[in-house]
Structures are given as C-alpha cells and as structure tokens.
C-alpha cells in the first residue's frame, strides 16, 4: 500500500481514482496500519483505524459501515487497485440500485491471454444467463470440453490454437457494492469451507445464498499482487499519467 508509484504511495492512487466516481459521495480508507493511517491523513483523505482481527476486507469495511446511515450503499474497492476505473465503480453501483433482488454487485473483465487464465492470482468468475455469479475460482473455468477433445484433451493447446475461446472466460475485479444491511449480516457469517480453500471471501456469500450481480466493464484494472504487477502499473502510470 505504501510502495511508491510515480512518487506517490500506491494507496493514494487508489483513493484518488475512487474519489472520481460520480456515484460516490464519500471515500474512506479503512486500515489497521498506523503507517497507512498517517499517509492518508497527511494527504487530506479520510481514514478510519479498524481492528487488526478482521478475516477479510469486507469484514473490515463492515466495521466502518456500522457507523454509516441506514440504507447506505457501500462500495468496497480493494486498496491494491491503483488503476481502478471511476466509471467501473459507477456501473457497479447502478447495477445494484437497478436490481432489488441483488445483495451484492461486482465487476468482471475479459481475460485476454492464457497466462491470465492460468494465473492463480487472477480470480475467474462464471456468470449464469440471468447475470448472477455461479462461482468464483482461482482455477480456469468453465472447462472448454469440446475444444480440448480436438487437441487430445489439452485445453491449453486448444486455447493457444483457437484464441477466440478466451471470450468464454471472465476475470473478477476487486470491486464490490453492498447494501449496508446485507454487508453487516455477511460480516457475521462464519467462514465457509470453500472460502478457506480458495481464500475468496465472495464464496462465503454464495454458499449462504446471496445473489451477486456481475457486470462487465471495459476499462482494465490491475490488482498489485506481485512485483511484476507493480512494475507494470509503474510503467503505465509514469508513461501515461
């Protein structure tokens, strides 16, 4: 969160992008780290110090949401998304507002390479015909069965030979929109087996019957999980501003 990108800590880039969203009235950084607290405060941003015992980002956000007005819509942008698109945030908020049946809205982007598809740091999502998430996984899914059979059962060879198959895959981005009351309920649920196995908190919501509306966005985001990600973001920001 504090690594420099173009002379400014990563977390401040994320904060700045979130602040540009038209649908957002207030941006709060939730942290349990005094160094992050100090950096955000010195920059003039709003920050809340939270418990160090939270199991996930959404649980941390829920601590802050408990003190916000009833009926609020809460957007959870993960701090390691310095290139998050303000437009993507607005699209996700509008998706939740437009679907009374949804408990959560989130976003996905196209997967454009076999490397992304096979990368365990890139979370994949399968969406049903009605626009709700069926499952999230670090594994490639869905399985291209017929294409694989054409190449001796090897899906990697199939995708390399037929790159148009990539259009069947979506990567999940680190953005959630909650109704405040559902978020508070969600944060009280125990971690589930699948959540612990894949280390994906959204599986806790699915396993407990939540409806997660998934919307496509066209602006790519890069979560900074590795040094390679950081180098890529630095290069993009420093060359394009």
Q: Find where tokens 């003190």 sit.
A: 67
* pLDDT class of 27 with cuts at 50, 70, 90: very high
**Residue 241 scores a pLDDT above 70:** no
Q: Which fold would CATH assign to domain 4-240? A: Spore Coat Polysaccharide Biosynthesis Protein SpsA; Chain A (3.90.550)
What number of other Cβ atoms are within 10 A of residue 181's Cβ? 14
Cβ proximity of 59 and 204 under 8 Å: no
User: Alpha-carbon distance 206 to 195, whole Å?
Assistant: 10
pLDDT above 70 as % of the chain? 100
- 3-state SS class at 217: coil
* pLDDT class of 224 with cuts at 50, 70, 90: confident
- ω before 142 within 30° of 0 (cis)? yes
Torsion sign over Cα 110, 113, 119, 121: negative
CA 14 to chain centre: 13
| pLDDT tens, residue by residue, 147-204 | 888 888 888 888 888 888 889 999 998 799 999 999 999 999 998 999 999 999 999 9
- Counted residue by residue, the chain has a size of 241
**pTM for the whole thing?**
0.87
CA 125 to chain centre: 11
Q: Per-residue pLDDT averaged across 139-144, rounded?
A: 90
Cβ proximity of 241 and 233 under 8 Å: no
| pLDDT tens, residue by residue, 33-75 | 999 999 999 999 999 999 998 888 888 999 999 999 999 999 9
């Amino acid at each position: 969160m504090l690594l420099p990108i173009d002379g400014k800590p990563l977390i401040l880039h994320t904060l700045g992008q979130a602040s540009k969203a038209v649908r957002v009235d207030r941006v709060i950084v939730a942290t349990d780290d005094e160094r992050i607290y100090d950096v955000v405060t010195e920059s003039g941003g709003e920050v809340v110090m939270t418990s160090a015992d939270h199991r996930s980002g959404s649980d941390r956000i829920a601590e802050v949401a408990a003190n916000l007005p009833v009926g609020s819509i809460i957007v959870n942008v993960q701090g390691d998304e310095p290139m998050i698109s303000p437009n993507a945030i607005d699209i996700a908020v509008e998706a939740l507002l437009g679907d009374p049946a949804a408990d959560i809205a989130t976003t996905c982007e196209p997967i454009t390479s076999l490397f992304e598809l096979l990368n365990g740091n890139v979370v994949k999502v399968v969406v049903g015909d009605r626009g709700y998430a069926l499952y999230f996984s670090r594994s490639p899914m869905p399985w291209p069965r017929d294409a694989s059979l054409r190449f001796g059962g090897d899906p990697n060879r199939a995708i390399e030979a037929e790159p148009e198959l990539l259009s069947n895959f979506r990567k999940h981005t680190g953005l959630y929109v909650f109704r405040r009351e559902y978020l508070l309920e969600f944060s009280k649920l125990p971690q589930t087996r699948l959540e612990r196995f894949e280390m994906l908190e959204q599986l806790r919501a699915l396993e407990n019957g939540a409806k997660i509306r998934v919307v496509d966005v066209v602006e790519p985001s890069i979560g900074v999980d590795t040094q390679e990600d950081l180098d890529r973001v630095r290069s993009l920001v420093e060359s394009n501003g």
